[in-house]
A and B are shown apart, each in its own frame.
Chain A
């Protein structure tokens, strides 16, 4: 995966004497005390993370945790106090004004929570705003703006003015304005937070659709966990200016770095976030099907481990089938020799990407733990009724792996 944006030791202090505050940070004094003693606010404190090309990277945190500051440090709407932001390996913090403007015009577009449209410009001129700044001539910029409006389904409103549109439509214009520049990176600061829940979900879907058609690197600020889980490939969690954890939604859910992170998941419906592969366990007896492993060997193995069911895999750990002591007995009595002739007929493996909410029925009705398979039929483990209940039960007070 290509590293699109690399943030290294990034700090932002708001105040008259950032050097003094930086010294205090180095001495290990915390943000609140720095504020009490110097009146300066540490907006972002020592952020380090990498955003990969083509992913949606969500930054989450409570109000005042420094999300907006962080995202503005990436395109230098806010000057960093120290540290680096590498964009394709080039340090944005060290760019000249000219280079920075070129970057903003062609590579990094932003979408704002309050839409921030130009009230005096028509929808099409709003969408063409970035292109106009870049000096694109009128015919071309209108063509490109119209194409961008088409992508967000607003072509018909090209000649309206922002104040004639609903909030959701206004934000589509904001999105079109960013898309028109065809940027590699989009910075979205709580872009959907001002919209009502239905429209918000619709916009999230739309963003995901756009992303399927043309992968861009998106840095998406949000304070809504459901939103983060829904659209985020990876999530960074901020607390008081510090990035406390970066990981995939499942990683963070399964392994929260601290209580603050955990507190985000309170009340979240884990069954829609976790998928089968996250809760599958591998503590079952597996029998590798190969020359010399017959029905007898398998029955001995199950008896020795004191298990009723066994999971048969190939030599690449690809899933073949489920056997039980009973099915093995019957097969032997019927004079069969191959393991596959003892497979339980009514146990179907489920895909690792199935959401937990979608497999409850399957697991509940299966005679044994349900096998989970990944790509190329690879055996990932088994979900038993007991793990499923435990998972669903842990929802509510965070999950501790």
Chain B
């Protein structure tokens, strides 16, 4: 037996910290949660309210814009159509709204953090272990503090998803910027570029393929978080899976699982197509 006296009451400390946060910043958290919720609800209403064919057309248009490949467009439209045929359209739209908000938030937070990491070795040294932890921690551990701060519902689901899904976009933004050829940076400086001009005119455009890959991974991770987030009251496809488990209804669980996979495929293919587009290759060029 490990001596009892040596035990560090880490759990207690964390609880105390969360309590302290709730007591002191509760109002701020609430305001933040409210605005996030408003955004999510609005998006959800749009997606669920829109006729199904309009959503299909929108997805087709986005896919076409990303890939200019009609086979892919057709494939993804069919995938979405199957989700509808499984009777999960409405739930899928809820999940979609949740994912769009969570992924956007991850990207909005992740890219600046990635840029800051690329600029500062010290920050990078601090962030890397944090990112590792964020990714390896069992994902539902995030649910607990999120729950305590925001209660049951959609907002903690989004936050837990953001924490779990943001690391790839942060990492790949950092990596992408660091991989930019130092000679190209030197050339930019030699022509009188300021730091801002270098960042926006050279580093970010050149890091774009990596950043896009990061966004894609982030999207995939946020989908995988959807099931778990349903435990704390996020509605959508995850709820259906959870129900399948609770009622030992293999069929229902399976249906929901297939719908999640299809949704993931749609997101992945669109993300990849955008990623490829950002990586201009000689012969396929921009004008195709």
Contact = CB atoms under 8 A, between A and B. Distances in A.
B191 A129 contact: yes
A324 interface: no
A112 B186 contact: yes
Give the interface centre of B183, B190, B194 by most chain A CB atoms within 10 Å.
B190
A69 to B, nearest CB: 13
Contacts of A105: 191-192
B206 A119 contact: yes
B191 A109 contact: yes
Contact of A120 (B186, B192, B205): B205
Contact of B190 (A109, A114, A117): A109
Interface of B is mostly: helix
A100 B194 CA distance: 10
B88 interface: no
A120 B176 CA distance: 14
Contacts of A116: 181, 183-184, 186-187
Contacts of A104: 189-192
Contacts of B41: none
A101 B194 contact: yes
Interface magnitude class on chain B: 20 to 34
B190 A133 contact: no
Given A119-B206, A120-B205, A120-B280, A114 B192 contact: no
B197 interface: yes
B193 interface: yes
B191 A118 contact: no
B252 interface: no
Interface magnitude class on chain A: 20 to 34
A379 B194 CA distance: 58
Given A120-B205, A161-B282, A112 B187 contact: yes
B187 A110 contact: yes
Contacts, number: 63
B190 A110 contact: yes
A132 B192 CA distance: 10
B187 A120 contact: no
Given A118-B202, A120-B206, A164-B282, A181 B184 contact: no
Interface string B184-216: 101111111110010001100110100000000
B192 A130 contact: yes
Given A112-B183, A118-B184, A161-B280, A181 B205 contact: no
B202 A181 contact: no
A249 to B, nearest CB: 28
A137 to B, nearest CB: 16
A116 B202 CA distance: 12
B2 to A, nearest CB: 45
A119 B205 CA distance: 10
A75 interface: yes
Contacts of A112: 183, 186-187
Interface in A141-171: 161, 163-164
B190 A75 contact: yes
Contacts of B192: 100-105, 130, 133-134
A287 to B, nearest CB: 60
A130 B191 contact: yes
Nearest to B183: A116
A173 B232 CA distance: 59
A77 interface: yes
A173 to B, nearest CB: 12
Interface in A116-138: 116-120, 129-130, 132-134
A-B CB proximity, top 3 nearest: A105-B192, A104-B192, A116-B187
Interface of B: 181, 183-184, 186-194, 197, 201-202, 205-206, 208, 280, 282, 285
Given A114-B183, A177-B191, 16 more contacts: A100-B192, A101-B192, A101-B193, A104-B190, A109-B190, A110-B190, A112-B183, A116-B181, A116-B183, A116-B187, A117-B184, A118-B188, A118-B202, A120-B206, A129-B188, A130-B191
